Amino acid sequence: MDTYVIVLGGFGALVLLTAWLPMVLRQLPLSLPIVCVGIGAALTTIPAVSDIAFHPHEHIHLVERLSEFVVIVSLMGAGLKLDRAVGWRRWIVTWRLLGIAMPLTILALAALACVLLGLGAASAILLAAALAPTDPVLASDVQVGPPLQGQEDEMRFALTSEAGLNDGLAFPFVHLAIALATAEAFGIREFAEWLTISVAWKIAVGIALGALIGRGIGWVTFHLPNPARLSRTGDGLVALGITCLTYAAVEMAHGYGFVGVFVTALAFRSAHRGHDYHHKMHDYAEELERLLMMVLLVGLGAALVGGGLLAGLTWDAVVFAALALFVVRPVCGWLSLIGSGRPASERAVISFFGIRGLGTIYYLAYGLSHAGFEQAEVLWSAAALTILVSVVLHGVTVTPVLRFLDRRSGRDTESAQLGLPLPSLVTSNSRRS
């Protein structure tokens, strides 16, 4: 049978599952990513499919671009979700996670990679930078709800905003790894160049251009005279246009496109924070993100089984993955939130649910396509195992844990699971009385 026909039929089935599975899984201790990886692994038992399963390194540029695209779409969706205006005190938990937890995580993971996996400095930093950021794609189950739905408690807000920003802020460390791998000598001059360009300039460009584009398109959309007001179109496709335009503009200006896209979404929301049009844009971005995520995760499942993605796995790599998920992220996250004033249960959830996913794949593909790193097979296997364990571990635990905490805090968990507005606690209490 023609492989194209099989792939086409499989894609059609995947689209249907994209629409149906989320509702089926909402009440189960499972997540969509777990099912997708499982489907991909199962498909490799079909000879026609197993023949096209490949290791990411064999088509590294394709993997880089596909994972890049799904991440930027996810970042736009994450930014559109957030009702809370940007501010120092309002985002203090996020700033702590970005400024304290993330650097500590990179430092700890790089040290573990050197000690356990025997990697050199460049490879260790690349692996650490790829695994440090929480994933905006796979973290949808722990993120806030749609815009203006009242589902923005501190836990979900912190995990959403962190995932939106730390993907871009991990990039300086990826560039540091590339610089170490390509430079004959890395001294004060090279470090100053990295600090000036890869850290200061690229982040500043991403923030500045993202804010400018977001505010500009927001003004055009919401504040033109009524006959030409673009928000009347109700077309969610605009979200994709803004995403691609922003990413391209920021990258051409040698900034971090990931940062630019997320900041653009925040700036666009601020142009008219309460407008219903944000729902249309968010819903479109979420549906597109879910479809792209399923395609890539099915491919990941196939690569794990049929593509030899775990071929370089050792017991040291297993220990590394376990420490990364069960020790490094939780401890670094907990330390960063000391003194934040949040309850211990919230700090524990925020620290534990540092989900790893498609962003990790992108950073590895980007780094390995821009420089020669030692033990690339070990990098892929260690990262793939960490992602796999994260997908299963966090996917199984997220629903019962958040449901328990929601009920304890008085939130209507069932409504939250179905994506409906949460009823007022005052109204609920008055009805009981």
Percent of the chain scoring above 70 in pLDDT: 87
In this prediction, residue 355 carries a pLDDT of: 80
Q: What's the chain's average pLDDT? A: 84
pTM: 0.87
Instruction: Name residues whose C-beta falls within 8 Å of residue 179's C-beta, 6 or more positions apart in sequence.
Output: 186, 190, 194, 198
Please check whether residue 172 is in contact with residue 192, taking contact to mean a CB–CB distance below 8 angstroms: no
Find where tokens 């335009």 sit: 245
Q: Which residue did the predictor score with more confidence, 214 or 275?
A: 214
Q: Which residue has better confidence, 370 or 2?
A: 370
282 vs 239: CA distance, rounded Å: 7
Of residues 306 and 433, which shows the higher confidence score?
A: 306
Q: What is the pLDDT of residues 145-165, one digit of tens each?
A: 677 666 667 888 888 888 888
Give 141's pLDDT tier (boundaries 50, 70, 90).
low
* Per-residue model confidence (pLDDT) at position 426: 36
Digit-coded pLDDT (tens) for 238-250: 889 999 999 999 9
Question: How far is residue 121's CA from residue 173's CA, in Å, rounded to a whole number?
Answer: 12
User: Model confidence over 225-238: pLDDT tens digits?
Assistant: 665 566 666 677 88
pLDDT at position 135: 82
Q: Tell me the angle at which helices 121-131 and 358-370 cross, rounded to the nearest 10 degrees.
A: 150
pLDDT at residue 104, as a whole number: 95
Express as a percent the part of the chain with pLDDT over 90: 41
Q: Indicate the DSSP class of residue 134.
A: P
pLDDT classification of 140: cutoffs 50, 70, 90: low
Per-residue pLDDT tens over the stretch 42-68? 888 887 777 778 889 899 999 999 999
Q: Look at domain 12-410 and name its CATH class.
A: mainly alpha
Per-residue model confidence (pLDDT) at position 152: 67
Task: Give the pLDDT confidence score for residue 203 in this predicted structure.
Answer: 95
